[in-house]
């Protein structure tokens, strides 16, 4: 970071000198080029600044992202699917890769729950503060009376642990069930009894995978997810002992949301923790969430 700072400072000084020289000679083409270069340098500085907030040991890791619809049936299930689309669009726009691990479709529309794995540098660090309750206010497309509805869905982000982190899992503590995939999920979701669900009995943590045709591979993915969940579970226990609160287990409903997405009667997305706002919900739901992610890194990690 020190070398990057010195390099950026030298570049800035050179651009400032070039700007004054071009200004004296009234060379507008050079002035425009310098202004553009300064904008590019500013973006590079911002990227390095953000990385200063990604110094925790797990921040560099890939992540699992789970979404669960709250109470409210079709409304919340549709909202859960909208959130999944938002994160997938963000992932694709950044050039990262994602993999659908499991999905349970809604009865009429949307999804009841889903898990995706996202791969890329600092993915967990960027997305870790997205865990919490997300609230949507809109005129329901499923309500013939065109009434306004409020829906909730929970998001939970946890890291894909590397092999150096040891988590003890005893066979006697596991219940392993196999079942047939019921979700649409695309061509990679199988229709054989190879989907796997593993329940860790002491903690009642449940993980499942259905994206592979091989039961063995689905079990392997489940064990990786369980390892990550148990690791996070232990970290949460320590945090609860220190703070006497449990942030990840809030009810999916009123009073617990971290962010609100209002489409009616006005249009606004607001993060209740940082105060970050956007008056263009469509842009946010299309995956342009960088300002919210960066704001949470600046304000929640200090």
Q: Summarize pLDDT for 105-155 with one digit per residue, the tens.
A: 998 999 999 999 999 989 999 999 999 999 999 999 988 888 899 999 999
Q: Specify the pLDDT at position 246.
A: 42
Secondary structure (3-state) at 68: strand
> Taking the model in full, what pTM does it have?
0.73
With respect to residue 114, please indicate whether it lies within any of the assigned structural domains: yes
Domain that holds residue 228: 178-242
With respect to residue 273, please indicate whether it lies within any of the assigned structural domains: yes
The count of structural domains within the chain is 3
Q: Specify the pLDDT at position 264.
A: 92
Same domain for 144 and 88: yes
Where does a domain end: 226, 242, 258? 242
Is the model's pLDDT at 168 over the cut of 90?
no
What is the CATH number for 234? Answer: 3.30.160.20
For residue 137, give the nearest of 22, 261, 221 by alpha carbon: 261
Is the model's pLDDT at 14 over the cut of 80?
yes
Alpha carbon separation from 102 to 111, 172, 210, 217, 222 (Å, rounded): 11, 25, 5, 13, 10
Question: Rounded to an integer, what distance in angstroms lies between the CA atom of residue 20 and that of residue 40?
Answer: 19
Q: Specify the pLDDT at position 184.
A: 45
Express each pLDDT in 228-271 by its tens digit: 999 888 877 766 754 543 444 455 555 579 999 999 999 999 99
Q: Specify the pLDDT at position 190.
A: 46
Angle value at C-alpha 171, between 169 and 176, nearest 5 degrees = 105
Q: Specify the pLDDT at position 120.
A: 93
With respect to residue 31, please indicate whether it lies within any of the assigned structural domains: yes
What is the CATH number for 137? Answer: 3.30.70.1660
Q: 93-102, 154-163, 223-232, 234-243 — which is least confidently predicted?
A: 234-243
């Amino acid at each position: 970071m020190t070398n990057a700072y010195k390099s950026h400072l030298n570049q800035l000084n050179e651009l400032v000198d070039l700007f004054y020289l071009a200004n004296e000679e009234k060379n507008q083409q050079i002035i425009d080029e310098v202004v553009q270069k300064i904008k590019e340098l500013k973006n590079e500085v911002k990227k390095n600044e953000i990385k200063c907030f990604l110094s925790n040991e797990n921040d560099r890791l890939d992540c699992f992202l789970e979404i669960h619809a709250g109470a409210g049936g079709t409304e919340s299930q549709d909202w859960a699917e909208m959130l999944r689309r938002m994160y997938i669009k963000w992932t694709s726009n950044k050039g990262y890769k994602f993999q659908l691990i499991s999905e349970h479709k809604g009865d009429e529309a949307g999804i009841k729950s889903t898990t995706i794995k996202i791969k890329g540098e600092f993915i967990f660090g960027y997305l870790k503060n997205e865990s919490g309750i997300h609230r949507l206010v809109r005129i329901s497309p499923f309500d013939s009376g065109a009434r306004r509805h409020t829906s909730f869905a929970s998001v939970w982000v946890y890291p894909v642990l590397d092999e150096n982190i040891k988590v003890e899992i005893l066979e006697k503590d596991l219940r392993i069930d196999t079942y047939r995939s019921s979700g649409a999920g695309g061509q990679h979701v199988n229709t054989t009894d190879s989907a796997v669900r593993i329940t860790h009995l002491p903690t009642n943590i449940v993980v499942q995978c259905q994206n592979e045709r091989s039961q063995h591979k689905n079990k392997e993915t489940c064990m990786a997810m369980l390892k990550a969940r148990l690791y996070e579970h232990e970290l949460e226990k320590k945090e609860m002992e220190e703070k006497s609160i449990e942030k990840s287990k809030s009810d999916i409903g009123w009073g617990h949301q971290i962010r609100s997405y209002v489409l009616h009667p006005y249009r606004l997305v607001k993060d209740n923790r940082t105060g970050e706002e956007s008056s263009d919900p469509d842009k946010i739901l299309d995956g342009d969430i960088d300002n919210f992610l960066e704001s949470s890194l600046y304000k929640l990690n200090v």
